[in-house]
Structure 1
Amino acid sequence: MKRTLLAGLALLALVAAYFGFRRSEAPAATTVERVQRQFLADVAAFETAVAALKKTVESGDPAARRTAFLQTRLAWKQVEWLAEYYFPATAKAINGAPIPEYEESDAKTIAPEGLQVIEPLLFPAPDPDALPELKRQVAMLQANARRLNVVAQNNPMTDAHLFDALRLEVFRIVSLGITGFDAPVALSSLPEARVAVRSLRSYLAIYRPALERKDPTLAGGLEVLSARADGYLKKPTGAEAFNRFDRMAFITEIANPLGGLLLDAQKALGFEPFRESRGLRADARTLFDAGAFSADHYAPGPAHRTTPARVLLGRKLFFDPVLSGDGNRSCAGCHQPDRAFTDGLARNLALDGRKPIRRNTPTLWNVGLQRALFADSRVSFLEDQATDVVTNADEMHGSFDKVVAELKNRPAYAALFANAYTDGVTSFNIRNALAAYQRTLIGLNSRFDRYVRGERSALNAQEVLGFNLFAGKGRCATCHFLPLTNGLVPPHFEKSESENLGVPERFVRKGGRLDPDRGKGGHNGAAIHQHLFKTPTVRNVALTAPYMHNGAFGTLEEVVDFYDLGGGRGIGIHSETQTLSENRLNLDGPEKAALVAFMKALTDTTAVVSPNF
């Protein structure tokens, strides 16, 4: 009896072990695994859409080709958030900007490809002669869609990275999606943004059960807000819908709260934001947070970041003419604090007091939030900018060797250097101290910023209209990217763009001559970079007249007129490399006035700007 009982218990144990083993072979899928499966399915759907586009291009009529293209773009928006995050090179080949790039290391020009190159071959009306190029581009797109499918198959993911990607997609929708950056001709930005939001909702649904257990109120709020975003973007395509879309309301009422709730959900689920150095901090709730950006990220390295002692020293050096060859000109001589660190001149005079220097003096506000410096983008770090200016014969004509010797003999300076650096007075430490001071010149608390953070009395109706024009019909934000309004490309903010507007020697509404300054092309010799200039910030622009690299435009009204007319080509100036569309914006008088009013609302000079030692 006892033996029979033991045998029965052993059998039960074996059965239990067997079924337990079978269960362990197929555990419940993790959130990451479920995201991976859904992403692979969405990538396969995108590849299918591209195949359908290819077939339609080969055998369909123009209307069918346009429809197939729009469907392909929608399929791309379904996978954009993760493709851009994990596979940026492939994503660039699929939906990168339609302009050639230049590899300075081997003097090689790389032709653009992808959806944005295909778009003008189909819209607004296809050119029959361009059909061979259309077929070629679609074939390359199909190859890149296959490439995306391959690289996505075995890509490791983590929950923290996925939430990071979700929030970056919200920022991408705000800064690139609703502004029409990647659909400038088809004007399909709003339905595409809607698909991007729907994609985020579908992936968030995977996390919802866990989030409901942690914080049901947060889970419900996130679902309601993402549904509102979906509904708000349910707009028809076309110019009228694009122009009328209330971007300010979408940002303040939906996108900003959505980004914040995503961060809250990430933390509630235990996936802490990354602490790595970034231009846009990984824990920023919105693009418009007061401390969202880190100028130290753009320093040469961690050892060269700002400290209070370095800032104090750099500030003193900035206002001291000791850096100039004749001891008469300081950095502040041209970058005057009360003029937003400009000088109010089209071009300042050289040190000899006779000839003008090469270009207009740019503002130093937010200069630390850039990846390229000078109008021709010839250096990457503020330390190198200091080298160029101090040693330039026309600007300061100084010598760092002489300045080092001079400062070592000044006890007050020697003490400041000893407090800021372990190796005292050196050429690099002089440059780094100047850079440290400039990295504190951050002005992101304008009336516009306060408005988008919730202070609804900070802007009036005209200024709100001006913002909607800036980010919509006026196309300003497709080059002056939000929220910095310079050329630093969102949402990663790691590359500064340059543009050729076809700037004339002086402002005219018809005719004129192209300014001879070759800009970036004069620096690197690239044919595609002739007359390209770094996109400057529009912040504090009310204080920085005259405008353009040559100071040819005296007022903001003239600048708006020039853009409205289509830049240089629009007024009859031939410039082969012009990147600005020559199509007129057709802004009316009140719209132009609203644009100017908004730009004036970007003024913020509240950071410390005077010597006051």
Structure 2
Amino acid sequence: MKDIFSRAKTYLRVCLLLLIVGCANEEKKYSAVNTFSTDISALYNQYLTSSISNVEKLNLEIPSEERKEYYKEARKYFKLMEPILAYSDKNNYKSLNAPNIIQVKGEESQDTRVINPIGFQVIEENLYEEEIDTVTLTRAITVTKDRLKLIKENISLKLKDYHIIWLLREQIVRIATTGITGFDSPVLSQSLLESKYSYNTLIEIVKMNENKFSSLEVKNKFIQSITDAQKDLDHDFDTFDRYSFIKKHINKQLKLLVEVQKDWNVKFPFEMALSNTMTELFSKDALNIDYFSDQLSDTTSLAEKVEFGKELFNDKSLSKNHKMACATCHVKELAFTDGKKTFDKNQIRNTPTVTYSAYQQAFFMDARAGSLEGQVVGVVKNHNEFNMSMDSVVKRVQQNDIYKNKLLKLYSNKRIDYNIRHAIASYIRSLNSFNSKFDRNIRGEENTLTEEEQLGFNLFMGKAMCATCHFAPVFNGTVPPNYTDTELEFIGVPSSMDTMNAKLSADLGRYELFKTPERKHFFKTPTVRNTGVTAPYMHNGVYTTLQEVMDFYNKGGGAGLGIENEYQTLPFDNLSLTQQEIDALIAFTKTLTDAE
């Protein structure tokens, strides 16, 4: 009995010792995280304080030039804190950096709210007007200042190694996809300078974490890659060579960041939109395709599900009259469009490509579906398309022994309706090759881009402001680097080619869903990939050539054609592009056609 009691005491001591050691190790890990978070919080607080101080000085009673200098300083510190704010407080970052257009939220939940914009872009646009709207400017300054103060009062950062890697990667991609495009510097066009500021913060964060490196060479190479990029950013906005910058600096930084995370032995709990191992921006492996799909879906046997989905996509028996398949409107040789102005019967909209459609958070031109699986339902029920119920589709699929066996083999659940839709969606999600001439060149696999095509890309990403709505690398309206929002725009597309007596297209777009007046004529921003083979263009197919499309944009959209509207979202009055520049833009877009 005594021996048993002695062994029990020994056992208790060992357990206690293990508990103490475990707690000590956990405390050590927590302390490391906490210390690091404290350092970043201090830097964050410093930038916030400086930004707030300068916003507070934007008094309308002081001279105009003095106000502008205070604004520039406030904006400078905002961009310095951008990597931290954008990672740790995404919603407040979006509000403070939003374009000067109204936002509509809560339509789907029937809690529709129309929100007037706040933040730096609103201040910038109003501050540089010849006649200042003092009411709007005063409100923007006040609300922006109060929002910054609220953020400062609630700083709470607990960052682990993988959080830091995510933060660094997001900012590198943000610089490449929105930072150097003029997306958030509508008047001053000082995006290159502001990108230098945000790079400074990345350097500071890496230096704070120096003790995590087992290889100082890796650390130094990463920091050097940033300082090299900063040197090249010291350039005029309009003539900046964005193609060379991404190829030379962004791709290098992404590769080095993977080396950093290997050096730190980082373990990621999961993957966000940006792949944890991305080394190229324009690559099929850059984005995590599962992030854009139903993450609860069974992803086992995915290749077989894709093949099954392809069969269903091409099967006319799923429509009421056995005469239409998905492939009837989405023809592979036309990048899955149909070459028609609008589809037959009573359809009023042009058939969009389904290539790269996986990289969205909303589907159909009016964004009425939230997933590709949901979009399939819309096609099935449309009286001018399949004109069926999903129950009827299920019956027809079940009557096909080959299909029935595949459903049993590939899906372990009994949600046949959903499984059919998932198979079709899985096939559509596979139509993202990233193997166009442009992709191969910017990855360095070949050197065949002409000077004109490179100029076209640089114009697209800069002076022509195309990339402020069509975001690289997918060139659609889903905003990087978080990819949580797919934007809708009102650009004022006319009903016909008559530019002398232009009239707005009668299609009310998003408005038809919820009758929100501020959403009249709003449509989802499509990808410009494969536009070389997807004519005609716009939601109503009004333009038959890319030259006509560029002429429309160059004039300033609908407003430039004399169509009066309150809510047009184009970030310019007109582009003032020369014919040579327009030709270059068209040449570039044609390099985005996928290879066979």
**Corresponding residue for residue 113 of structure 2:** 108
CA contact (8 A) 2:173 2:481 kept: yes
Task: Please name the residue that 2:123 is paired with.
Answer: 118
Residue identity matched to 2:448? A
Count of paired positions: 566
- Output the CA distance in 2 between the equivalents of 1:320 and 1:93: 46
Task: Give the corresponding residue for 1:199.
Answer: 201
Further displaced range: 195-204 or 461-470: 195-204
Residues 54 and 544 of structure 1: CA distance in aligned 2, closer, same or farther (over 3 Å): same
Give 1:52 shift: 2.8
1:291 corresponds, among 270, 285, 290, to 285
- Letter of the 1:215 counterpart: S
- Which amino acid letter does the alignment assign opposite residue 518 of structure 1? L
Residues 1:32 and 1:396: Cα distance change in structure 2 (over 3 Å): same
CA deviation map 1:356-411 (0-9, x unaligned)? 41210011101111110000000011111111111110112123222322332222
1:346 aligns with 2:341: yes
AA in 2 matched with 1:265: V
Task: Establish whether residue 372 from structure 1 lines up as the match of residue 372 from structure 2.
Answer: no
Structure 1 counterpart of 2:56: 54
What is the aligned partner in structure 2 of residue 439 from structure 1?
Answer: 429
Match of 1:318 among 313, 321, 340: 313
* 8 A Cα contact 1:372 1:381, kept in partner: yes
Provide the C-alpha distance between the structure 1 equivalents of 2:322 and 2:224, rounded to a whole number of angstroms: 64
Kindly indicate whether residue 211 of structure 2 is the aligned counterpart of residue 215 of structure 1. Answer: no
Distance 1:164 1:581 in 2: 30
Match of 1:127 in 2: 131
State the Cα distance separating 1:314 from its structure 2 match. 1.2
Tell me whether 1:282 sits opposite 2:284 in the alignment.
no
Question: Paired residue for 1:69?
Answer: 71
Amino acid at match of 2:218: L
**Equivalent position amino acid for 1:313 in 2:** F
CA distance in 1, matches of 2:580, 2:201: 38
Residues 174 and 32 (structure 1 numbering): CA distance in 2 closer, same or farther, change over 3 Å?
A: farther
Structure 1 residues without counterparts, runs of 5 or longer: 1-24, 236-240, 351-355, 607-613
Report the equivalent of 2:539: 549
Contact 1:54 1:135 in 2 (8 A): no
Report the more deviating stretch, 70-79 or 450-459: 450-459
Question: In the TM superposition, what are the counterparts of 1:134-213 in structure 2 within 5 Å?
Answer: 134-152=137-155, 154-208=156-210, 210-211=212-213
> Take 1:159 and 1:410, find their aligned partners in 2: how far apart are those partners?
52
Classify 1:297/1:31 alpha carbon distance in 2 versus 1 (closer, same or farther; 3 Å). Answer: closer
Residue identity opposite 1:500 in structure 2: F
> Is the 1:504–1:568 Cα contact (8 Å) retained in structure 2?
yes
Describe how 1:233-312 pairs up with structure 2 within 5 A.
Answer: 233-235=233-235, 241-272=236-267, 274-305=268-299, 307-312=302-307
Q: Displacement of 1:426 after TM fit?
A: 2.3
Q: Deviations over 1:477-529 (max 9, x none)?
A: 00000110000100011210011110001234444100010111122211221
Shift of 1:209: 5.2
Would the aligned equivalents of 1:568 and 1:582 in 2 still touch at CA under 8 Å? no
2:309 counterpart SS class? helix
Amino acid across the alignment from 2:199: V
Q: Which of 358, 370, 373 is residue 383 of structure 1 equivalent to?
A: 373
- The one-letter amino acid of 1:68's match is Y
Q: Using the alignment, how far apart are the partners of 1:497 and 1:53 within structure 2?
A: 29
Q: What SS class does the counterpart of residue 379 from structure 1 fall into? A: coil
Question: SS where residue 244 of structure 1 aligns?
Answer: coil
Match 1:597 to one of 584, 587, 590: 587
Q: Secondary structure at the match of 2:462?
A: coil
Which deviations, in whole Å up to 9, do the C-alpha atoms of 1:544-591 show, x marking residues without a partner? 000000000101111111111100001111122211145111111111
The equivalent of 1:448 in structure 2 is 438
555-564 vs 429-438, which moves further = 429-438
Offset from partner CA, 1:245-292 (integer Å, 9 cap, x none): 1111111111221122122112202223x2524332232123223311
Distance in 2 between the 1:73 and 1:234 partners? 18
Large movers: runs of 4+ above 6 Å: 25-29
- For structure 1, which segment, 554-563 or 214-223, has the greater mean C-alpha deviation from structure 2 after superposition? 214-223
- Selected match of 1:332 from 327, 330, 335: 327
Offset at residue 432 of structure 1 (A): 1.5
Alpha carbons of structure 1 residues 28 and 359: separation in structure 2 relative to 1, 3 Å: closer
Alignment partner of 2:114: what SS? strand
Q: Is the 8 A contact 2:509 2:520 kept in 1?
A: yes
Q: CA contact under 8 A between 2:318 and 2:396: conserved in structure 1?
A: no
SS of the residue 1:109 aligns to: strand
After superposing the two structures, state which structure 1 stretch, 300-309 or 279-288, moved more: 300-309
TM-score normalized with structure 1 length: 0.88
Structure 2 residue runs without a partner (length 5+): 1-26
When residues 205 and 349 of structure 1 are mapped into structure 2, their CA distance, relative to the original with a 3 A threshold, is: same
* Shift in alpha-carbon separation, 1:44–1:286, aligned structure 2, 3 A: same
Post-superposition offset of 1:93: 2.9
Name 2:4's counterpart in structure 1: none
Name the residue aligned to 1:14: none
RMSD, aligned CA? 2.2
Q: Measure, in 2, the Cα distance between the counterparts of 1:399 and 1:109.
A: 35
Q: State the secondary structure of the residue aligned to 1:377.
A: coil
Post-superposition offset of 1:414: 1.4
Q: CA–CA distance in 2 between the matches of 1:145 and 1:167?
A: 24
Structure 1 residue 136, shift from structure 2 partner: 2.0
* Matching residue's letter, 1:85: Y
SS in 1 for 2:238: helix
* Residue identity matched to 2:123: I
How far apart in 1 are the matches of 2:508 and 2:426? 31
1:220 is displaced (CA, Å) by 2.7
Which segment drifts farther, 79-88 or 99-108? 99-108
Q: Give the fraction of aligned pairs with identical amino acids, expressed as a percent.
A: 34
**More off after superposition, 419-428 vs 59-68:** 419-428
1:127 is aligned with what amino acid?
E
> Over residues 440-478 of structure 1, what are the superposed CA-to-partner deviations in whole Å (9 max), with x where a residue is unaligned?
111312111111211351311111111000000110000
* Kept in 2: contact 1:545–1:555 (CA 8 A): yes
CA contact (8 A) 2:101 2:567 kept: no
Q: Distance in 2 between matches of 1:481 and 1:146?
A: 31
CA contact (8 A) 1:521 1:527 kept: yes
User: Cα 1:373–1:26, aligned 2, differ >3 Å: closer, same or farther?
Assistant: closer
